[in-house]
Chain A
């Protein structure tokens, strides 16, 4: 079946550090891949997406590349800020249109 696995949190970084949050997936066919961000007490916001292999999604300094050969979609940012503290969800949409989430990774950035 289809599934998404993310690295466990919490991830704690100092401001301006490099961020990587690993995400791997299992899917039949060619899913679209997403990263969503959830700030405390709020709903989910779309951060970036990629719809085919080798696509790179980017937004607000975050990037992720759709790697079919490793079934991965790792989230990266070169220099994190305190305001990036949130929970990050990796997700895929399969050909049935169902959105399948990873369990989320909490990021805490300290000044």
Chain B
């Protein structure tokens, strides 16, 4: 079955700690994305990557970092600089064609991050 997996489902962070959220896809998609969702709000884009070894900041990148060493994987690190990290984090992927606006993004099941 093709799809997107995120792990862990729940993650707890202590003050001053960096934590990494995993996102893997076997859809052969070029583009991958990280979103943050806060209660009662829409999704906000943190980072995205359209190709291996390249990524771009989204609307709320401060306090986060990413890497894209493999096509299938796009891990997100929530650093200690992110002062309000409690949220639901969603990873997505899509095909990518330069200049096109029809690609559908497919989402993983999400990781809920809580601060102890």
Taking Cβ atoms with an 8 Å cutoff, the residues of A that contact B are: 29-32, 34, 36, 41-46, 49, 51, 89, 93-99, 101-104
Contacts and interface: CB of A to CB of B under 8 A. Distances in A.
Contacts of B41: 103-104
A42 B110 contact: yes
Which of A29, A43, A96, A103 neighbours the largest number of chain B CB atoms within 10 Å of its CB? A43
B42 A104 contact: yes
Interface of B: 4, 6, 31, 33, 40-43, 45, 50, 90, 92, 96, 99-110
Q: Chain B interface secondary structure, helix, strand, loop or mixed?
A: loop
Contacts of B110: 41-43
B42 A44 contact: no
Contact of A49 (B90, B99, B104): B104
Contacts of A32: 101-102
B100 A97 contact: yes
A98 B45 contact: yes
19 contacts: A29-B101, A41-B110, A42-B109, A43-B90, A43-B108, A43-B109, A44-B90, A44-B107, A49-B104, A51-B102, A93-B105, A94-B101, A95-B99, A97-B31, A97-B100, A102-B42, A103-B40, A103-B41, A104-B41
